[in-house]
Amino acid sequence: MAVPAEQPAGQPAGQPAERHRRVAAVFTERVLGTGDWNVPTPVEGWAARDVVRHLCGWFPDFLAASGGPALRRGPSVDEDPVRAWAVHTDAVQRLLDDPAAATLTLRNPHLGELALAAATDMIYTSDVFMHTWDLARATGQDDRLDAGHCALLLDGMEGMEDAIRASGQYGPRVDVPAGSTAQTRLLGFIGRDPSWQPSP
């Protein structure tokens, strides 16, 4: 899970629903382009299906623990990762598109009180964005991320690195060459080796 700054790191002020729609659409393309769900990913110990399992699992649990609404759940990721993702991402989008639901207040011991839309923008949509690289790189698909979004995320996260590391959600920073792109620097920050490649 991503834990960026108070104004969602990497997210200009604006529309959480539209941002989720764009970010989730790219991840959906990578889901549909995955031919082997058992291939290893840059996340140690995870296969491709585990990336989807993670995103479909933690956010509904977070909402439930924070006083939010229940999300519709699809089949298990083991049974049908494509359908599981489709049901999940549609449920999140419907929630954000609902003006009444999006303004609900969540209460979480780690984040305090936040509007549902802001919380989703801050921790979930950012997570989908970053995990898009994991799935794409693992499955040989286009792994380019939006450079501006990468830069904004990195800027927000670097300002609270101690808290992020303490959360246990990220591995140690991976050093990258000076002058690297925003995407490379973001990947290194969150503990990914930007040069990781699937085994031949």
pLDDT tens readout for residues 77-122? 999 999 999 999 999 999 999 998 878 999 988 778 999 999 999 8
Same domain, residue pair 51 and 135: yes
pLDDT of residue 1: 42
Tokens at residue 92, please? 């999140």
d(CA 138, CA 27): 13
Tokens at residue 70, please? 């229940």
Helix (H, G, I), strand (E, B) or coil at 66: coil
pLDDT of residue 161: 84
| 99 located within any domain | yes
Q: Which of 96, 127, 143 lies at the terminal end of a domain, its last residue?
A: 143
Same domain, residue pair 135 and 157: no
| 38 located within any domain | yes
Same domain, residue pair 115 and 195: no
Scanning the structure block, which residue is given the tokens 């419907």? Answer: 94
pTM equals 0.89
Same domain, residue pair 138 and 150: no
Domain count, the chain: 2
pLDDT of residue 175: 95
pLDDT of residue 7: 35
| 37 located within any domain | yes
Q: Which of 143, 161, 179 lies at the terminal end of a domain, its last residue?
A: 143
| 25 located within any domain | yes
pLDDT of residue 186: 97
Question: 10 Å Cβ neighbour count for 173?
Answer: 15
Same domain, residue pair 90 and 182: no
Domain that holds residue 178: 146-200
Same domain, residue pair 51 and 77: yes
* DSSP structural state of residue 70: P
| 3 located within any domain | no
Could you say which residues of the chain have pLDDT below 70? 1-14
| 135 located within any domain | yes
Same domain, residue pair 86 and 51: yes
Which CA distances in Å does 58 have to 64, 91, 137, 153, 189? Answer: 10, 14, 22, 20, 22
pLDDT of residue 190: 94
* DSSP structural state of residue 40: B
